[in-house]
Structure 1
């Protein structure tokens, strides 16, 4: 017997996973638009909004 997920509003949303997927997409877009072979570490930090997170956490 095979079980399938019910259709309808029973899906669980993993907000952390969704945020990670969005960041990965942002990195892919930035990498495809880059004029160099690779993104610099500074560019990656900018795409991932590292400075914003650091400022928000008081670090």
Structure 2
């Protein structure tokens, strides 16, 4: 009887992993929030994004 060898064929989807990490950050922020929902500004802060207006003004949050 021959047994097929299993190689280290781990496939990583870096985009999917990044999305999972961002979802985790949102879940943590939502669980720590005192209100029922996160505001759009709080979501942007958690995801470290800014609007085009903020970028042009140089007010990018880091």
TM-score computed with the length of structure 1 as normaliser: 0.71
Q: Report what 2:24 is aligned to.
A: 25
Q: Report what 2:45 is aligned to.
A: 46
Q: Report what 1:37 is aligned to.
A: 36
**5+ unaligned residues in a row in structure 2: which ranges?**
none
Where do 4+ consecutive residues of structure 1 move more than 2 Å?
none
**5+ unaligned residues in a row in structure 1: which ranges?**
1-5
Q: Report what 1:13 is aligned to.
A: 12
Q: Higher relative contact order by CA 8 Å / sep ≥ 6: 1 or 2?
A: 1
SS in 1 for 2:12: coil
* RMSD across aligned positions (CA): 2.2
Q: Report what 1:3 is aligned to.
A: none
**Which structure is larger by alpha-carbon Rg, 1 or 2?**
2
What is the alpha-carbon distance in structure 2 between the residues aligned to residue 46 and residue 8 of structure 1? 41
TM-score computed with the length of structure 2 as normaliser: 0.68
